[in-house]
Amino acid sequence: MTNIANILFPMPISEGFDYQIPQGMELGIGDFVYVPFGKTTRIGVVWGLGNIPPKDIALKDIISKSSTPPLAPDVLKFVDWAAKYLVTYRGSILGHVLRPQDAQADGPFIKKVIRGPITRTRLTESQEKVVLILWQDDYMPLTRTELAQCAGVSVAIIATLIKKEILAEISVSVDAPFATPKALPSKTELNPAQLAAKNEIAAAAIEKKFTPFLLDGVTGSGKTEVYLEAIADILAKDTQAQILIMLPEIALTQTIISRISERFGIIPAEWHHDLGASQKRRVWRRINDGNAQIIIGARSSVFLPFKNLRLIIIDEEHDTSYKQEDGLRYHARDMAIVRAKFANAAIVMASATPSLETRNNALTQKYRHLVLANRFGSAVLPNIELVNLKDYPPPKDHWISPILREEIANTLHRNEQVLLFLNRRGFAPVVLCSRCGHKMTSPETDSWLVEHKYNNTLVCHLTGYTIPKPDNCPECHGFQTLVSIGPGVERIAEEAKELFPKKVIEVLSSDTANDPKKLRELIDKMENHEIDILIGTQITAKGHNFPFLTLVGVVDGDLGLKGGDPRASERTYQLLTQVAGRAGRAELRGKAIIQTYYPENEAFQALLNQDRDGFLQIETEMRAATGFPPFGRLANLQLMAKSDAAIEKACEIVSNALIAAEGVEVWGPAPPPIALVRGWRRRRYLVRADRNVDISAFMLAWRKKFKLPPEVRVIIDIDPYSFL
C-alpha cells in the first residue's frame, strides 16, 4: 500500500522530504499538499510515492491536499531536466515554476449570486428585474453589487431575495477565467510561402508531435501572420490547446496583443515582470487549470505550468534578451525547446536573422526550415549604404556625417520619417575631468557613470547607482571641469534639434519609455506621423511597423564590435539588419545608412550586399575552427569575494580541484572586463567542451570537488552569453 509521499519544496534543495499520507487521502504525482515544515506549514508538490519505511523512522503526516490542480507530468520532467542541465537545485527550478507561490494556496474567494433552491413566487417589480437576469441562459454569476447595478435596483433587494432563498451565494475564486478564443474569419490572405509554412506548423501541433521549426523570413515578410493563422487552425481542431508566444521585450506585447484581439476576439494572458502580484496569480492559476489558452510571455514564461501545451512561438529567437544573466542563469530559447519536447508540442523559432546555433540545426535538418524570402504585399527590402567616417567625418563634437545629414533633410522634405539608431542610453557614456583626467565611476564598481542630461544625473547602468552631476571634480575639486565624452541617444537628439529645429524629435529608450503606457504613447505618435525624427536604442529595432518611416541612420555601426565577445560580429549583423528593416515596410521605399570606420568588416559587407548566408558561412567556419557553439559547448564558473585575499585563495582552491577530462579545455581564472561590482571582486573560468561532452556533468563533478568559505560566491553559467 502506498502511504509515503516525497514532497519537493520551492527552495534551494535537490531532494524532497518524506511524509506520511493520512488514511483516506488519495494523492497523485504532481499534487499540491500542505505539510508541517519546522514550526510552520508549507505547501509542496508530491514528487514521488512509496511504501512504509522502516519502523524506527517516524514521519510527520501530510496536513491536507490543496484544491489547486496538480502539475502536469511534462512539467515535472522539465523541472528534473532543467536542474541537471543548469547545474542547480531541483527546488530552485520548481521555485520558478511556482511563482507567485500564493497561487497554489486556496483562495482568496469572492461571493457571487446564483439561483436559489426556492422556485419563483410572488415578486415585486424590482425583484422581478433581478430574477429575469438570473434566468437567462447565458447568465454568468455576479456579485451582489454587480447584479444590483445590472438590474438597476438596490443591493437590499438582492439581500431580500437571498434571504427568501430565491437566490443563493457561492464562493468562487477572485481570479476570473480568461475568455475563450473565437473562430473569427481571417482578414489576411496568405501568400503561397506563408500558407505552406502555416500548414506545416499547424499539422505538427495538431498531431501532438514534437517538431522544431525555424521560420526564417526577411523583415516584414509576415511571420506574425503565419503563426496567428497556425494558431487559428490548432484551436479549431483542439479547443483546449494552449499556445505560448514568447517575446524578447515586453515593449512588444501591446502590438501582438492588439493583433490577437483582432484575430481571436479576446485579450490574451500576459506574463512579464511588470504585472502586479494579483495579476500574476490569476494568470498562473488559469494556465495551470488549462483555461488560459493564448499566452504572451517574456523569457520566464517558459516555466509556466501548462496543461495542454501544443505550440510555442519564440519571436526574434536570435535576441540575446532571452538569456537570463542573473539569479538562475538560463537561455529561454533552449529551455523552450526542451519544454516543447516533453509536452509533445511544436515549437517555432521565428527570425529574419536566426542565430548561428538555430540556423545550423536547420541546415542539418534537426529543425524544419520554413523560408519567407520576400516582404509581405508590395513592400520591398530597404537599400543599404555604408558611410566611411574616415572619408566623411562629422564636424568636431558632432556625430552625424554630412552624407547622413543630407539624406535626413531630403527625407523630411518628402514629409517622411527618420529613425536615428544608437545603442547607447543617456547623453554621454563617459564623464571625466579635463584638468586631472579623473573618470567618474560607480562606487566599488569598475563601471563608468553615464551622463543623463535631461535630469542632470550620472547613472551606473550596471548597478543603478545614481547621483546628480557634480559641479566640482571629486578628485581635484576643479570647478566645472567635468566634460562629457562620446555620444548617447540624448546627445544625438540635441544635435538633431540643432540641425532641424522646426521638426518634432523624440527619444525612445528604456529611460524615456520606462513603462508600457509611455512606450505605447511614443509608438502611437510615430505610427500616426506625429514625430519626424525618432532617436532610439535597440528597443526601436524589434517588431515595430511605422508606415511613414523610410530612412534609418545608424550613428555608430562599430559599437557592437568592441570587446572580446565571440558572438560580436553575429550580434552586430543581427541588430543592424533588424533596425534597417524598420524602413520601408509599407508602400514607400526605404533606405538605411550605416556610419562606420570599418566598412570592410564582413558584417557590414554582408549588409551592403544583402548576403546573409555568405556572412553566416564565414562565422560558421570560424566557430568550427575554434570549437565554439554550435560546434562545441561553453560554460562559465565565476567566483566572487569581498577582498583580494579571499578571491585569490578561492581561485587556488578551485584550480586545485580541477579534474582532467577528454574534450574539455579550461581557461582561467581571469578577471572579467568589469572585475569589481558593488565591492565584489570577480574571477572567471571559461570552459569549452566538444559537442559530445556532457558539460553540465563536468561542471557538477568539478563543483563537488571543492568547498569554499560561505563568504565566497560561486556561479555556474551553462551556455554563457555575456563576457563582461
- The residue with cell 507567485 is 100
Residue 237, SS3 per DSSP = helix
User: d(Cα 232, Cα 244) in Å, to the nearest integer?
Assistant: 13
Q: What is the pLDDT of residue 679?
A: 92
Q: For residue 571, is pLDDT > 80?
A: yes
Question: What average pLDDT does the structure give for the chain?
Answer: 92
User: Which CATH number applies to 195-372?
Assistant: 3.40.50.300
Q: What is the pLDDT of residue 566?
A: 80
Average the pLDDT over 661-669 and give the result.
Answer: 94
User: d(Cα 248, Cα 318) in Å, to the nearest integer?
Assistant: 9
Cα–Cα separations (whole angstroms), residue 556 to 342, 386, 397, 423, 681: 44, 11, 14, 8, 32
- Return the C-alpha cell found at 360: 545550423
547 pLDDT band, cuts 50/70/90, is confident
Average the pLDDT over 349-369 and give the result.
Answer: 95
378 pLDDT band, cuts 50/70/90, is low
* CB-CB contact of 290 with 242 (8 Å): yes
Kindly report, residue by residue over 167-195, the tens digit of the pLDDT. 999 998 889 899 999 988 888 899 999 99
Q: What is the pLDDT of residue 336?
A: 98
Question: For the ranges 373-387, 420-434, 679-693, which has the lowest average pLDDT?
Answer: 373-387
385 pLDDT band, cuts 50/70/90, is very high
Query: 632-718: what CATH class?
Result: alpha beta
Domain ranges (residues) in the chain: 4-72+91-97, 109-173, 195-372, 383-424+488-621, 427-486, 632-718
Average the pLDDT over 197-223 and give the result.
Answer: 94
In 3-state terms the chain splits into helix, strand, coil percentages (rounded to 5) of 35, 25, 45
Alpha-carbon torsion, ordered 235, 238, 239, 245, to 10 deg: -50
Q: For residue 523, is pLDDT > 60?
A: yes
Q: What is the pLDDT of residue 8?
A: 97
Q: What is the pLDDT of residue 515?
A: 73
User: d(Cα 219, Cα 379) in Å, to the nearest integer?
Assistant: 10
Query: 383-424+488-621: what CATH class?
Result: alpha beta
- Please choose, from the candidates 119, 499, 90, 500, the residue with its C-alpha nearest in 3D space to the C-alpha of residue 328: 90
Q: Enumerate the H helices of 474-547 as residue ranges.
A: 489-499, 516-527
CATH topology assigned to domain 4-72+91-97? GIY-YIG endonuclease (3.40.1440)
Q: For residue 573, is pLDDT > 70?
A: yes
Kindly report, residue by residue over 666-720, the tens digit of the pLDDT. 998 999 988 999 899 999 999 999 999 999 999 999 999 999 999 999 999 999 9
The CATH number of 109-173, from 1.20.120, 1.10.10, 3.30.450, 1.25.40, is: 1.10.10
* CB-CB contact of 187 with 222 (8 Å): no
Q: For residue 110, is pLDDT > 60?
A: yes
263 pLDDT band, cuts 50/70/90, is very high
**H/E element holding 46?**
strand 40-50
Q: Would you say the CATH fold of 632-718 matches that of 383-424+488-621?
A: no
Q: What is the pLDDT of residue 317?
A: 95
Residues 6+ apart with CB under 8 A from 602: 569, 615, 618
Q: What is the pLDDT of residue 723?
A: 80
53 pLDDT band, cuts 50/70/90, is low
- Return the C-alpha cell found at 110: 469572492
379 pLDDT band, cuts 50/70/90, is low
User: d(Cα 19, Cα 59) in Å, to the nearest integer?
Assistant: 5
User: d(Cα 574, Cα 671) in Å, to the nearest integer?
Assistant: 29
